[in-house]
Amino acid sequence: MNILDHLLFRDSWILIINKPAGLPVHGGPGGGDNLERYFEELRFGLKQPPFLAHRLDRDTSGCLALGRHKQALRRLGELFSKGRVQKTYWAIVTGSPPELEGQISAPLKKISRRDKGWRMIVAPDGQNAVTDYRLMGTSQNKKLSWLELKPQTGRTHQLRVHLAHLGCSILGDRHYGDRESNAKLHLHARSLAMPLYEGKPTIEAKAPLPEHLKGMFENCGYKGETC
């Protein structure tokens, strides 16, 4: 992979890249390909490679921000922790939400299951989690919908659990949705917007849909990068 082909934004403080689906950000215990192994190619003259400012799941594609040095990483951490970074996701889901637009407010908790690993669940004693959604289009047979999602919090697997809780799980989500599905996860981090520098315009980056997702989005009304 040529990581430079995935670069969406670059300045002296941050990089925003378009992470490919199927590539974990960290190396696992068994080794294998991962995003961090390409960071050396993103130094652009600095003494150290950039640092991850947040995470995306292995099978989620799209916008991912990196801090180019420790000062930048602290600034990004502050913006993310205070909810000042606007993250927009696109998803194809099964069925349709109850309203054209709305908000999912459901606390999330991590649980461990014997011999089945861990998962996130909606629980009264979980951490506060809020997601705004908007219906962008539906398939002709009404079995699938295209949603725009704006998480107001950043909990693990938040969008996947919230949409399953709403009754319209993300297509290809075998962990929280249809376990028998053969589809790829249809979740894409469409854009990031952040006020990185006080008194200056907001930095924005937008990641185009990967080819393997375009078909289902087109079935639900997507008409290219005019959206």
Determine the Cα–Cα distance for residues 205 and 188; give it in Å rounded to an integer: 13
| Whether 57 is catalytic | yes
**Bridging pattern class, strands 144-151 and 187-194:** unpaired
Q: Provide the token pair at 17.
A: 């890249």
Determine the Cα–Cα distance for residues 188 and 84; give it in Å rounded to an integer: 20
Q: How far apart are the first and last CA of the chain?
A: 28
Q: With beta carbons less than 8 A apart as the criterion, state whether 159 and 150 touch.
A: no
Residue with token string 């215990």: 29
Question: Which one is catalytic: 5, 11, 33, 57?
Answer: 57
Burial 50-70 (b: 16+ CB within 10 A, else e): bbbbbebbbbbbbbbbbbbee
User: For the chain, give me the number of helices (H) and strands (E)?
Assistant: 3, 12
Q: Provide the token pair at 179.
A: 């376990």
Q: Which residues are catalytic?
A: 57
